[in-house]
Amino acid sequence: MAFRFNGNFDELCYPFIYEQSWLCDFEVVTDELCALLGAAISHMDDSLDDLRADLERIQPLAFHVNGSIRGRLAVSEADLQWLAARLQHYREQVPERLNGFVLPRGLPPVPQLHMARSGCKKAIRLMVRLEQDGMQVPMLLPRLCNLLCNLLHVLTLVVNQRRGLIEPAFVSQSYGKPVGGEQPA
């Protein structure tokens, strides 16, 4: 038996919550993304005013992405271009930190930015599933979420650099050089 709305709106958190489609999951994930961006903004101190201003412009984009599959496409190529410019701007501030992987660490808003970055990946994966299920997903949406994911990662590096924190490097034992320097046969 499928779950159904019983008519009591106090017992319904979202009109599409009982849908069987991946679309509702996508909308829940992008809702969480918007909330995480809001949490990051609330942790910005005065030394991060430029990042706060950018995140205040980015946060509504998460809700625009949210409704852009079920409703009208609410993001544009101009939004992508702006995000790309901001990514380049912040990359220029941390060029030496962009070589390799780091363990995600730092005081707020860094954890919230990392969780939002992960939320972008979840949204992209759900868009892949929706597309596989035959739903039309404008390519602009996964492009935007990929770009936003990369921007959020760079913002964590910028925040930590401004605070004097250097993230520990992460070297995967699953990829790259074999453990112990052994060469594959």
Instruction: Give the domain CATH number at 125.
Output: 1.20.1200.10
- Compute the average pLDDT of residues 152-160: 98
Domain span at residue 70 reads 19-169
Report the number of distinct structural domains present in the chain. 1
pLDDT band at 184 (very low <50, low <70, confident <90, very high): very low
**What local confidence, expressed as pLDDT, does residue 183 receive?**
45
Q: Which residues of 141-172 are buried (b: 16+ CB within 10 A; e: fewer)?
A: bbbbbbbbbbbbbbbbbbbbeeeeeebeeeee
Which of 16-20, 78-82, 177-181 tops mean pLDDT?
78-82
Give the up-direction half-sphere exposure of residue 105: CA atoms within 13 A in the CB hemisphere.
Answer: 12
Rounded Cα distance between 68 and 26, Å, is 11
| Separation of alpha carbons 180 and 60, rounded Å | 48
The pTM assigned to this predicted structure is: 0.91
Query: Is pLDDT at 115 greater than 50 in this prediction?
Result: yes
What single DSSP character describes residue 101?
E
Domain-embedded: residue 181: no
